């Protein structure tokens, strides 16, 4: 089986697995935001003064910022096949534990935060370490679009499935579905990482971990893209919450409505991915990010003056389109610029910089959003404008095709 067929087979099964993983992630999201806007007791919070919604995004950030980069180092030190199987198995065991705690009524704030951190750690590793390692080996040229499509498709399907199951069966059903869907992808690891060359480790685990940060510092280009995304993600990762809270306020928190709109935004964006990839190759690095952010800023302004489900849906759709373009651009740069022997750990460290945003969003944006959607939109307006300014002044002027050729 040639490389292209192997990677497509892997991504097909990976999408199925990721649909289940996404279903579990979004079940926590729906569970955390289920009563906000309808019942003020849901936003009082007891742990660190944060509501469950705030804890969700803090856990989202911590798992991807700290634990994922540490474990990502192991992917470049040991067998990628063995590590991939171990990560998926641990993920499934964690979901079973979460379901048991929920069933026993013991999913307290502390356990909720801990499980959210671990779920997002494993999710980040699956995307950054397993996904990029596979693409680097079998499909480096088209890998950026392949990965962006796989991530968005699985996330979109996961949202749709999660909303339906959460409404009909509840949290427990989402966990069960997630566990069942992870199994098939494990069997693809035997072919995707077949004949993987042995890596002789002369350095320590700690030195490898910090060398990943040093690689990004020396690269400069990837670092600047990551920092701009980290700033934007303070609100960019929170946009689904804006929509969910409006549904809570106007439609009694109907999760089928929320999940349908959230999934539709991703599916519409996927439809344009091939065109986005073609266009982005003609653009400068900074131009691609400005183009992705400008419609979002316009949509935020529209939603602020006319706050309703329609304008917030337009905001979410524009965010999905912008996210798709940025993912295609940065995935291409990362697959080309990072050497194979460093691809797992450097990409998880890169991902940790992106997820500074959701962590800060959980601490700062969610409390404002819980007070009023309009206040949350003011914060989103300021952060998005700042990200656009940073894109203009800090991102490279060279075209994406030129940046893709450069190596550190």
Residue 50 φ then ψ, to 5°: -110, 145
Q: Given CA atoms 218, 222, 225, 227 in this order, what sign does their dihedral have?
A: negative
Nearest residue to 128 via CA among 387, 327, 356, 402? 327
Q: Tokens 């539709």 label which residue?
A: 264
Q: What are the residue ranges spanned by the domains of the chain?
A: 3-194+204-405
- pLDDT 10s digits, 60-82: 888 888 888 888 777 777 777 78
| Polymer length in residues for the chain | 408
pLDDT the model gives residue 140: 54
Give residue 50's region: left, alpha or beta (phi > 0; psi -120 to 50). Answer: beta
- Model confidence at 141, pLDDT cuts 50, 70, 90, reads low
Other CB atoms within a 10 A radius of the CB of residue 145 amount to: 21
Which tokens hold the place of 391?
């894109």
Q: Tokens 């934007």 label which residue?
A: 232
- pLDDT 10s digits, 298-309: 999 999 999 999
- pLDDT 10s digits, 239-254: 888 888 888 788 765 6
Q: What is this structure's pTM? A: 0.76
317-322: average pLDDT: 92
- pLDDT 10s digits, 156-192: 666 677 767 777 777 878 888 887 777 777 777 777 7
Other CB atoms within a 10 A radius of the CB of residue 121 amount to: 27
DSSP helix/strand/coil, 88: helix
Which CATH architecture does the domain made up of 3-194+204-405 adopt? Up-down Bundle (1.20)
The pairs formed by 336-341 with CB atoms below 8 angstroms and a separation of 24 or more are 336/140, 336/404, 336/405, 336/407, 337/219, 337/221, 337/222, 337/403, 337/404, 337/406, 337/407, 337/408, 338/132, 338/136, 338/215, 338/222, 339/407, 340/133, 340/136, 340/137, 341/76, 341/199
46-69: average pLDDT: 81
- pLDDT at residue 21 tops 50: yes
- pLDDT 10s digits, 326-350: 988 888 888 788 877 777 677 777 8
Cα(330)–Cα(151) distance, integer angstroms = 14
Straight-line distance from the first to the last Cα atom of the chain, in angstroms, rounded to the nearest whole number: 32
- Which of the listed ranges 29-38, 62-71, 121-130, 284-293 does the model predict with the highest average pLDDT? 284-293
- Model confidence at 382, pLDDT cuts 50, 70, 90, reads very high
The burial class, CB within 10 Å (0-12 / 13-18 / 19+), for 287 is middle
Cα(348)–Cα(356) distance, integer angstroms = 13
372-399: average pLDDT: 94
Q: Tokens 């706050």 label which residue?
A: 307
User: How is residue 157 annotated by DSSP?
Assistant: H
């Amino acid at each position: 089986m040639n490389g292209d067929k192997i990677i497509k087979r892997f991504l097909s099964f990976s999408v199925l697995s990721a649909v289940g993983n996404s279903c579990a992630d979004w079940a926590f999201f729906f569970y955390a935001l289920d009563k906000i806007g309808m019942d003020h007791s849901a936003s009082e919070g007891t742990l660190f003064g944060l509501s469950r919604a705030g804890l969700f995004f803090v856990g989202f950030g911590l798992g991807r910022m700290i634990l994922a980069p540490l474990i990502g180092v192991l992917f470049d030190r040991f067998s990628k096949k063995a590590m991939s199987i171990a990560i998926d198995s641990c993920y499934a065991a964690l979901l079973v534990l979460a379901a048991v705690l929920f069933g026993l009524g013991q999913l307290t704030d502390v356990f909720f935060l801990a499980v959210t951190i671990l779920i997002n750690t494993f999710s980040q590793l699956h995307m950054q370490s397993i996904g990029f390692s596979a693409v680097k080996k079998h499909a480096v040229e088209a890998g950026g679009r392949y990965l962006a499509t796989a991530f968005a498709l699985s996330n979109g399907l996961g949202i749709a499935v999660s909303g339906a199951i959460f409404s009909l069966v509840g949290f427990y059903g989402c966990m069960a579905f997630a566990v069942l869907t992870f199994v098939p992808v494990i069997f693809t690891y035997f072919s995707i990482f077949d004949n993987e060359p042995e890596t002789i480790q002369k350095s320590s685990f700690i030195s490898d971990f910090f060398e990943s940060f040093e690689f990004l510092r020396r690269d400069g280009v990837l670092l600047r893209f990551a920092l701009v995304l980290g700033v934007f993600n303070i609100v960019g990762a929170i946009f689904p919450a804006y929509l969910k809270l409006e549904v809570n306020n106007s439609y009694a928190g109907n999760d089928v409505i929320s999940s349908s709109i959230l999934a539709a935004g991703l599916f519409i964006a996927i439809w344009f991915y091939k065109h986005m990839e073609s266009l982005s190759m003609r653009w400068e690095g900074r131009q691609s990010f400005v183009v992705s952010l400008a419609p979002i800023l316009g949509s935020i302004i529209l939603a602020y003056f006319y706050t309703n489900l329609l304008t917030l849906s337009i905001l979410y759709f524009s965010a999905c389109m912008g996210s798709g373009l940025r993912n295609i651009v940065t995935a291409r740069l990362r697959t080309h610029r990072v050497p194979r022997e460093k691809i797992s750990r450097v990409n998880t460290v890169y991902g940790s910089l992106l997820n500074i945003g959701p962590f800060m969003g959980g601490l700062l944006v969610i409390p404002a959003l819980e007070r009023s959607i309009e206040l949350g939109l003011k914060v989103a307006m300021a952060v998005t404008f700042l990200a656009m300014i940073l894109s203009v002044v800090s991102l490279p002027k060279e075209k994406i095709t030129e940046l893709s050729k450069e190596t550190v």
